A and B are shown apart, each in its own frame.
Chain A
Amino acid sequence: MTTIVDIQDLRKSYKDGFQALKGVSLEIREGEILALLGPNGAGKTTLISTVCGITTASSGTVTVGGHDIITDYRAARSMIGLVPQEINLEPFERVINVVRFSRGLFGKRSDDAMIEKVLKQLSLWDKKDNQIRELSGGMKRRVLIAKALAHDPRVLFLDEPTAGVDVELRKEMWEVVAGLKADGVTIILTTHYIEEAEAIADRVGVIAKGELMLVEDKDKLMARMGQKELEVQLTAPLSEIPAALDPHALRLSDSGDALIYTYDTRAERTGITKLLSDVAQAGLTLRDLVTRQSSLEEIFVTLVHEDSDTAAKGERA
């Protein structure tokens, strides 16, 4: 797959010495959905703002479609659409005017058919003559997307597109994103909802404290980092786990009719065969077996913990 956005050793320090980005390198592939995951203040917005030209980097290079964002900014920015985190819209303007304005600002000739297509795609067509202030929060967010799409960008940055948005609207937003991907648009979205990254991303990048901790295919990441749980359901409930099974570090379910075994999918031996034979030897009868994959959220928590553990060890040393 070709790289459409190439970020190399990007650094950003502010006057007060705060380092928002500490040498981020990232290659974004054409046509993918990349989710940048990280807690608030991790540097997600700074990264996006720098690529889009809103913030100037202290050092490092960025190219979009092979165009440098500084020396060839017109070509680079023409390819980018940005949906900002904050709802920044002129309250008294009409929907269609702000969308037309965005298209013009990017140097594209007015094209009513194109604007109509975008507004219809975002279910905004019947609101086109409404003033922005008359719209609901969700619609305003869609207007922001319409503005970003008005000039037909190849790369779309969505900065926290579903922050503070209800579940229904979030799902709707995901559908919009999926539709854009189908049109061949490369999408980079920042989020601190792991559920979101899990639901729509092809790849996941984790940012913390200005550093990109990892970028990986979502499925691989989940497989690599994933802990699985095996639930051994029993025909008769137990009051306590038989001593013979102690080496397996099992948990007893609340109702007592299931044993829960946690194992690492990365491990060479998962220990399942031994567990099952020990269970049989203990005289227990199985009713069913269920396995569960841990979510990205758990993976994320593990990652951040590992990081702080390493830091703590470093301090002690």
Chain B
Amino acid sequence: MNWTAIRAIFTFEMFRFFRTIAQSFLAPVISTSLYFVVFGAAIGSRIQEVEGVSYGAFIVPGLVMLTVITQSISNASFGIYFPKFIGTFSELLAAPISFLEIVLGYVGAAATKALIIGIIILLTAFFFVDFTIQHPLAMLAFLLLTTISFALFGFIIGIWAGNFEQLQIVPLLIVTPLVFLGGSFYSISMLPPVWQTISMFNPVVYLISGFRWAFFGTADVPIITSLLAIGVFTALALGVIWWIFRTGWRIRE
């Protein structure tokens, strides 16, 4: 394993992150703060409690997940698409490194960035609402698993995308709706029965439910189901990446 190369990719990507610090940190912090103001304060004043938790606190795990998922995808997809776009990708192909090392470098950096942002959002949340985290370790583990699996997914999008529009289209048309409809701002149990059933097909429901359990000890679905769901998603993403690198799809002619 060429750890020096992995570290080189990782550091290079993190440099980009810190160079665009305003865009990287401020944007998610500001948008999350807006969610707290609009959903927590304005709407939350009408909804007293959800499953024994104040509405303001209830939406915290969902908001963190929302940001972490979108950030993992956009960081990883952009991270690998950008070298393709400007042509520096050929340097990766000509380097004495394996595809596994390329994935570790890019996905590792994208997941780390998303993790940092997730923690910042969490810290921001403490300024708006009072809440305690019942299972902090489980919370961190969930966060980590989510960043890794969605960064893998983002990596696939970045490899697949042939232009900037394609790079945006999957997050915009599929991921964002799934996350919004995945119970970020409500409990699935608040929905009519039909929609509850439909929601069960949304993988994000399991993530947010599990993550919320780590915070408040209550969940829409059993925690083991949540873990299973994220495990399956990660395995799928890994499988696709393994196939991409085996065949050189969209990478090597």
Contacts and interface: CB of A to CB of B under 8 A. Distances in A.
Interface of A: 14, 49, 52-56, 73-78, 80, 82, 84, 86, 88-93, 97, 100-109, 147
B47 to A, nearest CB: 45
Interface residues of B, number: 25
Interface stretch (B5-13, B171-179, B192-200): B5-13
Contacts of B12: 97, 101, 104
A55 B252 contact: yes
A1 B15 CA distance: 45
Nearest to B89: A88
Contacts of B87: 84, 86, 88
Contact of A104 (B4, B19, B94, B253): B4
Given A53-B93, A80-B94, A106 B88 contact: no
Contacts of A73: 96
Nearest to A77: B96
Contact of B2 (A14, A49, A74): A74
A78 B97 CA distance: 9
B95 interface: yes
A137 to B, nearest CB: 15
B97 A105 contact: yes
28 contacts: A54-B94, A55-B252, A55-B253, A73-B96, A75-B96, A76-B96, A77-B94, A82-B91, A84-B87, A88-B86, A88-B87, A89-B86, A89-B88, A90-B82, A92-B19, A97-B12, A100-B8, A101-B8, A101-B9, A101-B12, A102-B91, A104-B5, A104-B7, A104-B9, A104-B11, A105-B5, A105-B92, A105-B97
Given A105-B8, A109-B4, A54 B90 contact: yes
Nearest to B88: A88
A107 B96 contact: yes
A-B interface, 9 closest residue pairs, ranked by CB to CB distance from nearest = A104-B8, A88-B87, A77-B96, A74-B96, A52-B94, A105-B95, A107-B2, A54-B93, A107-B4
Contacts of B222: none
Report which residue of A54, A75, A90 has the largest number of chain B beta carbons within 10 angstroms of its beta carbon: A54
A86 B89 CA distance: 12
A82 B94 contact: yes
Nearest to A97: B15
B190 to A, nearest CB: 46
Given A89-B88, A109-B4, 11 more contacts: A55-B252, A55-B253, A77-B95, A84-B87, A88-B88, A88-B90, A91-B86, A97-B12, A101-B12, A107-B2, A147-B91
Among B7, B9, B93, chain A packs the most CB atoms within 10 A around the CB of: B93
Contacts of B8: 100-101, 103-105
